[in-house]
């Protein structure tokens, strides 16, 4: 014979079991709504967050070399320190030295007190005692010196909006801005230009 307590528990269980599917459906709907809201939030980019200014990795006294598809050595980059800033996806290098030899035998050497590169390396800015030297087979060596050089390696362009000195062989040009195109082989120096040309 069932006790009154057992009968009461059985009635409660039957009531709960009839409500259980409804409760599960409600819980599933609420979870689905939350997932959809999170997905929409992610697609919209969420609330704007301040870009973190702390580096997420740091190297000291480093040397790194790239290689082409055939395994030939490419660019060699060294520096006193390297920091990656995730906020704007830039890399900052203290005392960078870059040496590159391309397939045509053109040798490029660049150095500065500070170098800043964007995420894919398509734009490199050299600050403080910036120098780029370029030697090519059958051509006079070219050197560019300034406190600021803006380099686009893929396009082989160098620009500056600061006083710049360019020397090619015995020819020396100085001006307040620079535009150099290595592919087209053109050089433009503007603003207070002073030139020193070799005697004929």
The pLDDT mean for the chain works out to 76
Residue with tokens 């362009």: 157
Burial of 65 (0-12, 13-18, 19+ CB in 10 A): exposed
Domain parsing of the chain, residue ranges? 1-48, 57-196
pTM (two decimals): 0.66
Residue pLDDT, tens place only, 1-37: 556 554 555 554 454 444 444 444 444 444 444 445 5
Return the pLDDT at 128: 93
Residue pLDDT, tens place only, 150-160: 988 778 888 99
Q: C-alpha angle with apex 19: 16 to 24, nearest 5 degrees?
A: 115
Return the pLDDT at 53: 66
pLDDT band at residue 40 under the 50/70/90 scheme: low
Return the pLDDT at 146: 94
Q: Is 80 exceeded by the pLDDT of residue 184?
A: yes
CATH number for the domain formed by residue range(s) 57-196: 2.60.450.10
Tokens matching residue 142: 């070219």
Question: Percentage of the chain with pLDDT > 90?
Answer: 16
CB neighbour burial string for 96-133, b if at least 16 within 10 angstroms, e if fewer: bbbbbbeeeeeebbbbbebbbbeeeeebbbbbeebbbb
Return the pLDDT at 171: 86
Return the pLDDT at 131: 93
Return the pLDDT at 63: 86
Residue with tokens 């600050």: 127
Q: Is 50 exceeded by the pLDDT of residue 55?
A: yes
Return the pLDDT at 39: 52
Contact partners, residue 125, CB within 8 Å, separation at least 6:
115, 116, 117, 148, 149, 150, 151
Lowest mean pLDDT among 43-57, 113-127, 137-151, 175-189: 43-57
Q: Is 80 exceeded by the pLDDT of residue 179?
A: yes
* CA atoms of 94 and 197, how far apart (whole Å): 35
Q: Is 80 exceeded by the pLDDT of residue 88?
A: no
* CA atoms of 79 and 112, how far apart (whole Å): 10
Residue pLDDT, tens place only, 102-151: 777 888 889 999 998 887 778 889 999 999 898 888 888 889 999 999 98
Lowest mean pLDDT among 46-50, 150-154, 162-166: 46-50
């Amino acid at each position: 014979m069932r006790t009154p307590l057992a009968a009461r528990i059985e009635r409660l269980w039957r009531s709960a079991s009839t409500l259980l599917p409804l409760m599960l459906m409600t819980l599933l709907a609420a979870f689905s709504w939350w997932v959809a809201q999170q997905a929409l939030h992610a697609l919209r980019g969420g609330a704007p967050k301040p870009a973190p200014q702390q580096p997420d990795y740091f190297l000291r006294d480093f040397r790194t070399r790239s290689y082409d598809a055939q395994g030939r050595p490419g660019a060699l980059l060294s520096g006193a320190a390297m920091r990656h800033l995730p906020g704007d996806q830039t890399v900052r290098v203290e005392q960078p030295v870059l040496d590159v030899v391309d397939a045509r035998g053109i040798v490029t050497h660049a150095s500065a007190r500070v170098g800043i590169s964007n995420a894919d390396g398509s734009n490199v800015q050299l600050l403080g005692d910036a120098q780029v030297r370029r030697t090519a087979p059958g051509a006079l060596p070219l050197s560019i010196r300034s406190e600021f050089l803006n380099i686009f390696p893929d396009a082989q362009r160098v620009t500056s909006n600061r006083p710049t000195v360019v020397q090619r062989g015995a020819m020396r040009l100085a001006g307040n801005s620079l535009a150099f195109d290595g592919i087209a082989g053109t050089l433009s120096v503007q603003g207070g230009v002073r030139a020193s040309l070799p005697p004929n």
